[in-house]
Every structure is written in structure tokens, then in C-alpha cells.
Amino acid sequence: MAKSGRAPQPGKRRGISVALTGATGKLGAALLSRLLASRDVYSVVAFDAKAPGPTHPKLHFQPVDLTATSADRTIAEALAEHRVEAMAHLPLLSGPADPAYAHEVEAIGSLRVLAGLGPSAVKRVVVASTTSVYGASPQNPNHLDESRPLVARARSRYLRDKVEMEKQVQAFREAHPDRTVTVLRFPPIVGPGVYDPFASFLERRFAARISGFDPLVQVVHVDDALDALERALGSAWPGTYNVGSRGVLPLSAILKCAGVHAVPLPYLGTEGAVKLTNAVGLTRTPPALLEYVRHTYVADLRKAERAGFAARHTIGEALEAFAEHRQAARS
């Protein structure tokens, strides 16, 4: 990976032109700074509701509101104008948001992004998803491969949106066999900052744990996630892949490493209690999340490995990086 952030020389087009959505999200911001630093990237088009922080000669910000009906046209025009070859769609929210808004952005917004991609000349489409679409269930084997059915009746709206988004991507893939579509399913992303409701556990001082259960948890170091995204943007890598860092750890060990005080709750009755505190407004924990701290959902990483993608980090390194970052942030 090249480190220099030289401005493209006018008239000469070196590298590819890429686009991404969700550039202000934490994963999006990290990917954006990597793409801007890369020698192989000629220009980056960032779609988002608000402008990403840094300005850069390679960066073209295209304001777009995914909840608006005209979003697909805006996207299609921008893709054509910048002759974008590869696009990354990162419908990952940084934290719990209003469920109705999240649904508009993730499920409906993704539909609009795909609609905008339809008529464009984009060759490679990369979509970030999560391994939570497999669902945490007592019936899970220790390793869930990509052929596993996605949770059909997820009780959480967050998960239903993810599954719906994946189904849309699958439909797009079938409708456009000439495009290379890559879906990357990430476990909770850990690194400098965290990205999904499960990983936001690690940012708290106290977190609930179901007493008597200690599921194995898989995470991905943010660098490994970025490696996979970059690879899929830069070269044809069709298919759906689980991408995670090597190894698993029990939830209790992860919480301990992250400096979170685990509060064990009895497994009978906790769901009712959570629903109650949600209704009162004390907490905003989706009850379905309880399944994810009770049962194991670890993805099988062998398909990506067979395709030549090897994670650089272990789960221990990812947690160490997170702990350092958190310590720096607190002090």
C-alpha cells in the first residue's frame, strides 16, 4: 500500500476512480483516508448527507440524501461524471439510531444506491454486511459458512434491515451478471473506534452479560476489514465472503480486555426486564441483542482464505489496538 498522498497530475489518469457511500461513518472514514493515500486510486467520490471532514484534491464530495426519492439519479449522474469503476457501499451505522430512520437508510437507501448503480458503468460493487445476519442461535455450528441461510425471522429491526439489504444485493447480482459484486460480511469491527451495536458494548463502562453463558466471539480488526474492501475495489473478487481476524475469544475475556465491567444477569427473565427498561426509556438495547451475548455466531473464514485473502491480525491484536485507543481517548 502506497503511503504518499500526491495529487493526481492533470491530463494523466493513473489508477482507478472509486466511489463510496457512508464516508462519514467510522469504517467509511477509515476507508476514505486509505483510498486517498493510495497510489492506485485516481479519484474518490464520496456520497453522504454531510461532507466528510478532510478535504483532499482527489476527493469529490457528492451530497446525497438516501431517504430522498431522487437519490438514485444523483448517484447515477455523479458516477457517470467521474467515470467511477468501483463502488463501495457501506451501510453500517456507527451506533444505535432511530429504528425508522435506520430502516430508511439501510434498506430503502441501499435499494436507491443499487438503482443508481444499474445504468452506470461501474464494474465492481462492494457491499459491507455483517455476520450477524446468520443469527445467534443454539443450533449454530461453531463456524457458519457463507451458504448458511440468513436469519429468516429476525426479531430485531436492525437485523431485518441487514438481511433485506443482502437480498437486494443478491437480486442486483442476478440482474447484472456483467458486474462483479462482492459482499463482505464482517463480525464486529474493532480498532480505533467501533461500528455496530454489538461492538458498542465495548465502549461502555458496564455491559450486561447473561450469567452462565459465555459465547465465543469473533471480531475483525479494522485494518483487516479495510484490506478486504480495498482488495475487492481494486480487483475482481466476486462472491460473498466472511472476513474476520484470526481466532475467537469468549465474550467475558473480550469485555475484560476492553475494560468493560460485565454485569451478569440471570438468563430467565432478562428479556422481559430489558423490554421494560426500553419501554421506560432507560435503555435502548434491542431484546434480540440478548441472543448475541448468549449464543455463538462465528463465521467460517476459510472461503476468503481459499480465495487468497488472509487476515493480518489476530483477535488479540484487534482488542489490544482497541484498548490502546480507548485509553488514549479517556485520558
Partner 1 sequence: MASRPKSKPTAPPARSVLGNDPFLRGAAPSAPAPVPLADLAEPKTITIARFERKQPVTKQERAVRPRPPSAEKAKARPESKSRALTAESPARPKTAPTRVLEAIPKPKTAATRAIPGVPKPAAKPKTAATRAVPATPRPETRPRSAASARAKTLTYDESAQGNPAPAARALVKHVLVPEIEGDAPRPPPRAEAPREPERKPGALGVLGALAQARAQSLLGAVASSPTAMQLAGAALSGVTAMRALVASPTGLRTVDDFGEDPALVARTAPALDFLYDHYFRVSVQGAENLPRHGPLLAIANHAGALPLDGPVLRAALERSRPGLRARWLVEDAIFHAPFVGTWLNRLGAVRACPENAQRLLEGGAGLVVFPEGVNALTKTYRRRYQLQRFGRGGFVKLALRTGAPLVPTAIVGAEESMPVLATLSAPGLGLPVLPVTPSLLPLPTKWTLVFLPPIDLSKYGPADAQDLALVQRLTEEVRSAIHQALDRVRGERRSVFLG
Binding site for partner 1 (CB under 8 A): 138-139, 141-143, 145, 211-214, 216, 247-250, 252-253, 256-257, 267-268, 296, 316
Q: Which is nearer to partner 1, 222 or 248 (CB)?
A: 248
Residue nearer to partner 1 on the CB measure, 114 or 315: 315
Strand order across the 220-221 sheet: 193-194, 189-191, 220-221
Q: Looking up cell 431484546, which residue turns up?
A: 287
Q: At its nearest, how many Å lie between partner 1 and the CB of residue 246?
A: 9
- DSSP alpha helix (H) spans, 150-189: 157-175
Q: Which residues of 126-161 are buried (b: 16+ CB within 10 A; e: fewer)?
A: bbbbbbbbbbbeeebeebbebebebbeebebbbbbb
Which of 41, 248 has the CB closer to partner 1? 248
CB of 312 to partner 1, least distance (A): 18
Residue nearer to partner 1 on the CB measure, 96 or 316: 316
Of the pair 118, 266, the CB lying nearest partner 1 is at 266
Nearest to 181 by CA among 128, 102, 111: 128
Q: Is 35 left (phi over 0), alpha (psi -120 to 50) or beta?
A: alpha
**Cβ–Cβ < 8 Å for 8, 43:** yes
Q: How far is the CB of 147 from partner 1 (least distance, A)?
A: 8
- Tell me which DSSP letter residue 299 carries: B
Closest distance of CB 164 from partner 1, Å? 24
Q: How far is the CB of 48 from partner 1 (least distance, A)?
A: 38
Q: How far is the CB of 241 from partner 1 (least distance, A)?
A: 18
Closest by alpha carbon to 299, among 169, 127, 112, 148? 148
